[in-house]
Chain A
Amino acid sequence: MLEIRDLHVRVDEREVLKGIDLTIARGEVHAVMGPNGSGKSTLAYALAGRDGYEVTGGTVRYRGADLLALSIEERAREGLFLAFQYPVEIPGVAGTTFLRAAVNARRRHRGERELDAMQFVKFVRGKQAELNIPDDMLKRPVNVGFSGGEKKRNEVFQMALLEPTFAVLDETDSGLDIDALKMVANGVNALREPARSMLVITHYQRLLDYIVPDRVHVLAHGRIVKSGGRELALELEREGYGALTAAEAA
C-alpha cells in the first residue's frame, strides 16, 4: 500500500527527516511514536504534500505509483487522508459547504456522480451519529470556535465521509480527555477494514490501547530507530524515550 524508502525531508533549511524506511501493507495499522521534535508531524505533512516540506531524497510509492509526483489534492483524491494535529479553522466557510466540495471532488475523481445538497444531507446523516456530530456543527464555519474534542471528532468524521484508502492520523489523541479519546478511537476503529491502511502518529501509548496497531515504529532524530509489535509501545510507556533516543544520538 505505502512504501517509503530512504525519505529525506527538509523544512526551513533544516533536514528533519534523515532517511525514513517504512512499509505498510494493505489493511495494516502502523503506529509511529516519538518524542517532540523527532519529525513525526513532518512525516505526516510530507506525505500530504505540504508546501515548504521539501523532499531532498528517497521515494514514496503509494499503491504502486509515485506519491511525491502528485499535488496535494491529487493525493487526497487518490485516497490519502491526513487527520491534522491542529485542524485548521476556516472562517466564513460553512461545514456542509466544505464537506460537500470535498466529497464531490473525490466522487468526480472516481467518475461518480456528484451529490446535490439534498443527497449530501442524506449521505452525511448516517455518519453523524457515530461521532456525535450535531447538525449545528456542520452549519458553523469549519472548525471555528470548536473545542479540541470537537475538532478531532470532525477530523475523523471527514475521514468517514471521504473513505480514504490510506489515512495518516497526526496526534489525533492530543488534547482529548478520556471520553473524547474513546469516541475518536471508536470512530477510527469502525473504519478499519482490509482495504484501508492507517498510520497513527502519537506521542503517547494511551491511544494505542484503543487503536491497536499491527506494528509500532519509534522515530527519533529523523530516523526510525526501532520497530516492533504492539509490545514496543508498552515498553516505551515503561521506560520512556530516553533510553532509545540516547542510544541513537550516541
Chain B
Amino acid sequence: MSRRIVAEFPFVERFDEVAAGLPGAGLDWLDALRRDSLDAFNRVALPSTRVEAWKYTNLKDLAKTPFDIAASPEGDSPFDLDGIRAGGPGAGRRLVFVNGRFDAGRSRTGPPSEGLAVLSLGEALRSRARVVRPHIERLSSLEDEAFLALNTAFMMDGCVIVAGDGVTIDRPVETVFVNDARSPTSVHPRNLVVAGAGSRIALTETHVGAGPSEYWSNPVTEIVVAASASVVHRKIQRESRRAYHLANTRVTLAERGTYRAFLMSVGAGLSRCEIDATLEGEGADCRLDGAYLARDRQHTDITTRVTHAGSGGSSRQAFRGVLDGRSRGVFQGRVSVRPDAQRTDGHQLNKTLLLSNDAEIDTKPELEIYADDVKCSHGATAGHLDELELLYLRSRGLGAEEARRVLIRAFVAEAVESVEDGPFRDRLDAEIDDWLSREPPADAEAGA
C-alpha cells in the first residue's frame, strides 16, 4: 500500500475555473500562491494510513467521493441560526459564512473600533492585503501538508481579526460556518487572527451542517499571538453526520503570550481537528482542552502538536471523550521540547469513556524532549461506566438510563469545567444534553 491516496476531485481538476471565483482572485501574489499550493497538493496527495500521523484515520472514503466546490446558497437558505443552535446569546460581533461565503445579512461586524479590525477574509484581501499577506504566505509555505495546501489553493472566505497592541475585545467574536450542501461539495474556510502585543481576544467557532448531502469542510485557522497577548479560542464542531470535517489550527506564541483553546467535537461522520501550537517566545502559555462525543460509526480524531521552542513555557492539554456504538476516537498528542526550551512544563491527559464493547479509542501520546530541565507528563485512561456508581444511583431510585446519563454527563462535565465563559459553557452543556437525549439516528452517514 502506498503512503499516498491519489484522488480525483472534480473541483481540483477544475482549478482555473474555480479559482476565478474565489476571494482575492486577480491579486497576483495570491493567484501564484494558490497555484503553487495546488501543485503541492497534487504532489503530496492525501495521506494513507501508512503515514504514521494518519495511522488511525482512514481517508479512503473521502478520496472516493466526487467532491466539487461548494456553490453559493440558492436564494435565501432556509435555516435560521437559532434553529440550528449556531448562535450564542448577546449582541457581540458575529460573522456568518454559508458554504464558504460571507453572509453579510446574518452577520454583525460591529462598529469600527480603534486598533481593531474584524472582517471577512474577502474584505481583508481588498482593504488590508498588506497585513494579511505575510501571514498567509508564511503558513502556506509550511512543509507538505495536504490539507493546508488544498485550503490555500481553494481558500474561501473566513474571519479575519487584527487587534492592535493593547486592544481588548470585551465580547468574543462569534464565527459560524454553515454548510448547506445539496450535492457532494467542499468548503475551505480560511481564518486569521493577529493579536498585537498585550491585546486580549476571544473568538468562538461553530461548524454546523444544514443540507441533506455529504460534504467536506476543510477549514484552516491561523492565530498569531504577540508578546503578552492573550487569545481564547473556542470551537464547536457539530457538522452533519454526512460530513467530513478536517480542520487545521496553527498557533504561534511570542514571549508571555497565552493561548487557551476549547474544542467540542460532536458532529461529522469523520472528523479530525488538528491543533499545532508553537511556543516561540519565553514564558508562553498554551492550554488545549476539549471533549468529543461520538456514536454509531462516527470517527473523531483530535491531533495536537505542541512545540516548546522558547524557555520557561508551559502547556496543558486535557481531552475527554465518550464513545458509543461502533464509533472510534483518536487522540494523538505530541509535545516537543527543543534544546533551548529549558524549564518547560508540559502536561497532557486523555480520558475516554467507552459505552459499548464495539467502540474504540486509539490514544497516542508522544513526548520528544531535547532539553534537560523540563517537567513533562502524559496520561491516558479508557474505561466503562462504573458498576458501583450505577448501582448507587439506581439504589436511590434513578432509572437505569437516567443513572447512565448522570454519570456520562459528570464525566464530560470535568472537561467543560475549565471553560470560564458562562454563556459558552451553557452552550457546551446544551450540546452535551442534546447528545445524551438524542436517539441514535438510523440515517446513513459519511464513511458508512
Question: Which A residues are closer than 8 A to B by beta carbons?
Answer: 48-52, 71-73, 75-77, 81-82, 84, 87-88, 90-93, 97-98, 101-102, 105-106, 109, 141-142, 158, 162
Q: Is the CB of B410 within 8 A of A93?
A: yes
Closest partner residue, chain B, to A104 (CB atom): B397
Contact partners of A98 in chain B: CB under 8 A: 393, 396, 406
Interface string of B366-391 (1 = CB under 8 A from A): 00000000000000000000111101
Query: Across the interface, do A91 and B392 meet the contact criterion of CB distance under 8 Å?
Result: no
Whether, in the assembled complex, B400 has its beta carbon less than 8 Å from a beta carbon of chain A, the answer is yes
Per-residue CB contact flags for chain B residues 397-414 toward chain A (1 = under 8 Å, else 0) read 111101100110111011
Task: Give the interface SS of chain B, mostly helix, strand, loop or mixed.
Answer: helix
Q: What's the nearest-Cβ distance from chain B to residue A49, in Å?
A: 8
| 11 other A-B residue contacts (CB within 8 Å) besides A90-B393, A98-B406, A158-B396 | A51-B387, A72-B394, A75-B395, A84-B392, A88-B391, A91-B410, A92-B413, A93-B410, A101-B398, A105-B398, A162-B397
Are the CB atoms of A109 and B410 closer together than 8 Å?
no
CB closest residue in chain B, given A106: B397
What residues of chain A lie closer than 8 Å to B387, measured between beta carbons? 51-52
Contact call A102/B400, Cβ cutoff below 8 A:
no
How many residues of B sit at the interface, in one of the four size bands?
Answer: 20 to 34
CB within 8 Å for A73 and B392 given contacts A51-B387, A91-B410, A101-B402? no
Residue among A50, A73, A162 facing the most chain B CB atoms (10 A cut-off): A73
Would A76 and B392 count as touching, CB distance under 8 A?
no
The answer on a CB contact under 8 Å between B413 and A76 is no
Whether B399 lies near A82 (C-beta < 8 A) is: no
Are B410 and A92 in contact, with the CB atoms below 8 A?
yes
Partner of B391, one of A50, A142, A162: A50
* Cα-based distance from A21 to B399 in the complex (angstroms): 30
B399 pairs with A73, CB closer than 8 A:
yes
Asked if A82 and B402 make an inter-chain contact with CB atoms under 8 angstroms apart, the answer reads no
Taking a contact as CB atoms closer than 8 A, the residue among B392, B394, B402 that contacts A87 in the complex is B392
Beta-carbon contact of B410 and A105 below 8 Å: no
A90 touches B407 (CB 8 A): yes
Contacts of A101 in B (CB 8 A): 393, 396, 398, 402, 406
Q: Once the chains bind, are B394 and A73 in contact (CB under 8 Å)?
A: yes
6 closest A-B pairs by CB? A92-B410, A105-B397, A102-B396, A88-B392, A72-B394, A76-B397
Enumerate chain B residues within 8 angstroms of A71, measured Cβ to Cβ. Answer: 394, 400
Q: In the assembly, what is the distance between CA of A217 and CA of B407, in Å?
A: 38
B395 in contact with A76 (CB, 8 Å): yes
A114 to chain B, nearest CB (A): 12
Instruction: List residues of chain A with CB within 8 A of the CB of B394.
Output: 71-73, 76
* Chain B residues in 8 Å Cβ range of A77: 397
